[in-house]
Structure 1
Amino acid sequence: MDIIKSCVEGLKTGKIPAWRVEDEMIKNYDVAPPENFRLAAICRQRFIEELAGERFKYIQIPERPYKIRYRCEKDGLIWELDARDEHHICSLCQSRLEPMNEYAPLVANYVGGVDDYYSFAGRIRVKGSVEKQFVNLLVYGTGLGPIGVTRGCYLINRFGGAQIKVEDSGRALRCLGYLFKTKELCKKAIDMITTYLPQLRFEMNRRLTEFNGRVSSVEFVSGRIDRGFVLYLNFTAQFKDFRGHGDISNAVGFAKVKIDDYLREKGVRFDFSIIAQGFDGDLKPSPENRRGRYVSAQVLIPVEDFEQSFELRVERFLSTVAVDKLGAKKLGCQFYSGMGGEIIPAIYKATKVNPHGPLVSSFENIYARIEDGNLIYGVELPNIEVGIVSNREGLIPPVGREALRIMGVATAKEFAASVAAQVLAGEFNLALEIARERLYRPK
């Protein structure tokens, strides 16, 4: 019997969970470690190719896709190294590392990747602002997170999928700051700039055409420091599939020159003008980050079905969420950010979208309530910032573009929906397992 074909069939029917293929190889096919790790990765790739209708080409499986355990001969410290790593020296004491002939997968649910290790994290159905089914790939690293997301996806799909709300466009912001000696000069500048704005916005929009951006709002806010009166001009632009960070920066730089000249021409004196940081909301990660787009995902489960399915009183589940939210607030964090702080960077690393910095959007809020006899559990992501196109904004390498194709993500809006759905799945599974006391039990 073709082992790979048989295991792929088991994955398709649900008989073999994605994270147990390695064990299946040992138990039923007498494939000993470490060869079982290679065959298991191939099985998951073939399974995903059938799900996604896309083939793996750039996300490759090396000949030895596993890690090997070593012991430092001097201090006994246990090391785990990629099988390709031939530098068997302890970097702490320079002693030789001796192999222990013990093997493990590179990461849970490994499906490929040489420098970044890709994990399969199930598939999830979304509805609402986006109607689609996504295949999930994560570069998560050590831990069982991909398995938790996979299990969460299964549960959410079982109850109809994730309900998604996502903004059509994302925001990009840049801010100007002016310093005046008097409050009167500051007010006069606001009046002058307001008069000039229609012409200025027209000229700025011409500089945003490459990525189909437009200036959607200009905000005036004043304040005072020791040296005088500050005026902030915050420019917000909307972009559908681009991050827009570079274009709005260029357009606001152009606006600064024009406004400076206009104020001088009108005799409104200012001490200096500058591209102002901070008030533009470029705060990472933070609920006050004003860039990107809002997206939420939630699952709705009749209370009776919830309690029967999970043998758990809904009040206990709600109390578990409430205890965690209060704990976060006790530490001064008004939003509760949990497992999503790991899932979101794992998606950014898997897809290589812009921006490449995975912490830029790693913030979430979790909520749970009873409404009309249903448990509603959801997550809000206030600022998913993403450019989905490989271009002047930033190169998306072949592995990233391949991951996006396999996931079924073609637009920035779909990216945000996919992220929110995966975060929902991971958080719901985690909260459920903790409430049922199935995690963190003594061994």
Structure 2
Amino acid sequence: MAESQQQQQQQPSSQNHPFALRPGGPSPSSTPQPQPQKAQNSIYDLVSDDMPSYQNPRTPSGPGLNNTNGTPTFSPPQPQSPTLQQPQSYGQGSSRFPSQLYQFPQNESGPSSSGPYTDGPRNVQPLFAQHSGGAGAQSSRPVSRGAPNMIPSMPTGGSSASGPSTRPTSAANPNTARSPFSTPITSPPRQRPHQILLINPNSTRSMTEACLTSIRPVLPPGIEVTGYTAPYPAPTAIESTTDAIMSTEAVLRDLAKHAASNGETVQNFDGMIVACFSKHPLIDALRESYDVPVIGIMEASLYVARMIGGRFGIVATAARSKIFQDDAVAAYGLSHFYVGSESTHLGVLELETRPREEVAKRMGHAARSLAVKGADTILLGCAGMTELTRAAKDAVRDEDGRRTVNVIDSVEAGIMMMASLVDMGIPTSKKGVYKGEKEGRRTRGQNWL
């Protein structure tokens, strides 16, 4: 009995034992302990010593072992306080293509003095992000209940600052509650907003205004969008291959006048969007001419459709547009996920000149036909349809009012996709098909742009 009591007094506390099982990991003891030898013919022979969550809690004899029957003993789980992590110090945001805000020159005479970047004498300003909600707005995201609520929120680029976190903790014991969710992080402020040029390759200025109006409520923070309307002799609508070639030539020549001195972009813009739902030749031409990312709204909406649905269809304008879209989807390699297009049998300009009820009815009929074909995602196949998105959404609602079929506004998809590319700071690759063409034309003596 004396030897047993003496041996129990010499047994170290499981709180300081390096192999004690704990809900928060190994013991915080800083005293190194020798690695015990592994006993044979034991259940612990089946457990790897490399596993951090389960260690052999005993030695061959003495501490951690019941000397009567040789069974292991464990210490009761002890709560471990989580370590308060201070927020990291983030530097100021940077841009891949830094430049100063550019003001385009304006002439004093003639009706065309406003230039392609402004709306006549009204001097349209670039679009800024519009924010909804205030400091009291609540989020529906899952929260971490294991972290203390003393970590301040990171500053954001928005106009309103958020206060300290008020995340809930466990009412019984806040130190023992473990959550798989970490403390949220927010973006650091930027030195300047990212500036995107929205290019309407036809000469209909009202279509440019409609695109800007539709994207204003959904602009991400820190994004400015400036509209550009193709100058004369660009066509008023892109409905044929000839229209696409003529608009490409007009826009390419005009933008070359405003190119930055380093040739990377057009003045201060960090990215350019071609707002024409087609595989427009202007997209590749701008990628050859400049380094900033350039995308088309059809290409952007196709990729978005592939991420949120299994099959997609397109609401087209005229019958010829339907054929063009079929060919473009095949060129992008997405025919397997494509159920087809449905034409509204309306021209591009008729989307504005025809009665709004008639246009909405035609779009709704085309959207329902695509849903019957199996499309769970429907793309609006013209930038002029952006103001009638609601008509297509209402047409594909279920009988109980739910909307199980997505409808994508191609202009909005282009803005969101471009904002992501600009935030990543990724320019257009210049090794391969988009290698600059200026040097080759200069060598041939054809530097006409």
Bigger radius of gyration: 2
> 1 or 2, which has the higher helix percentage?
1
Shorter chain as denominator, the TM-score bin is under 0.3
TM-score by length of 2: 0.24
TM-score by length of 1: 0.25
Q: Relative contact order (C-alpha < 8 Å, sep 6+): which is higher?
A: 1
